[in-house]
Structure 1
Amino acid sequence: MKTAHDLVSAAKNQITEVAVAEAQDACDQADIVIDVREPAEYAAGHIAGAISIPRGVLEFKVNDLPANKGADTNLLVYCKTSGRAALAAQSLEALGYKQVVSIAGGFEAWVEAGKPTVRPHEGVDFG
């Protein structure tokens, strides 16, 4: 039997992760930034411009996004610590997307690096 950790480790060996120091540039270059955490996590704070699509419905929703340009869409995904995002990136690649990256360390690493976050109805928070 495999564990969820085993699946994440295997996914991380197959996907592209970007270090948090380079994550802002990756976000700026992405056609779509996807937060694959649960809605309550997204509502508590997220990266500006990120779209909330929970990991459990990603494969069903990604093709319907207005900014989706097909296989060449530049996608950036993140979650809390990068496990769900690694699995999401792997799934997106299995769907045929060629430009998928995940933020190493996820949203926690983003916040720890002092990068800006957005909370609904509060604007931008730099702390």
Structure 2
Amino acid sequence: MKTCPELVQQIMPNIKTISIDELPAKLEQDNALLIDVREPGEFGQGHIDSAVSMPRGVLEMKIHQHPAVQNYDSPKEALQALADYDIYLICQAGGRSALATESLQRMGFENVYSVNGGMNAWQNK
């Protein structure tokens, strides 16, 4: 058995991460999306302006509904279009975004990054 922190540590070498200091410059690029994977109540208490709320529990089922790809006829087409973006995932401290990053990689996304330190780091910046 593994604890959640142990699982996160195990997957870290297999995912891409970005520091909170690098995030603002990355978000200025046209092909960048920021997805906040925290729960709606957490998102409502404060978030980065460009973030779209998609809680970790429904991310894989709802990512094809991201506003950036809302004009596609099928979920598969929307996913293909999303693959052209750099996707940055943020949570409160970095654990949920790391797990979400691994999951999106298994779905086929290559340009997906977990934001180290999450909103805690953003707010302490």
Same fold, judged at TM 0.5 (above): yes
Cα distance between partner residues in 2 of 1:28 and 1:80: 22
Structure 1: which 5+ residue stretches go unaligned? Answer: 114-127
Cα distance between partner residues in 2 of 1:6 and 1:28: 33
Structure 2: which 5+ residue stretches go unaligned? Answer: 70-80
User: Is 1:76 aligned to 2:88, yes or no?
Assistant: yes
User: Is 1:92 aligned to 2:104, yes or no?
Assistant: yes
The aligned residue for residue 63 of structure 1 is 64
Q: 1:67 offset after TM fit, Å? A: 1.5
1:101-116 → structure 2 map (5 Å cutoff):
101-113=113-125
Q: 1:87 offset after TM fit, Å? A: 0.3
1:8-87 → structure 2 map (5 Å cutoff):
8-29=8-29, 30-68=31-69, 69-87=81-99
Identical amino acids, percent of aligned pairs? 41
Letter in 1 for 2:13: N
Q: Secondary structure at the match of 2:21?
A: helix
Q: Which moved more, 1:43-52 or 1:61-70?
A: 61-70
**Offset from partner CA, 1:24-46 (integer Å, 9 cap, x none):** 11222353210000001000000
Cα distance between partner residues in 2 of 1:35 and 1:11: 20
Cα distance between partner residues in 2 of 1:81 and 1:27: 19
Letter in 1 for 2:37: V
Q: 1:14 offset after TM fit, Å? A: 1.0
Letter in 1 for 2:44: A
Compute the RMSD of aligned alpha carbons: 1.3
| Residue-pair matches, total | 113
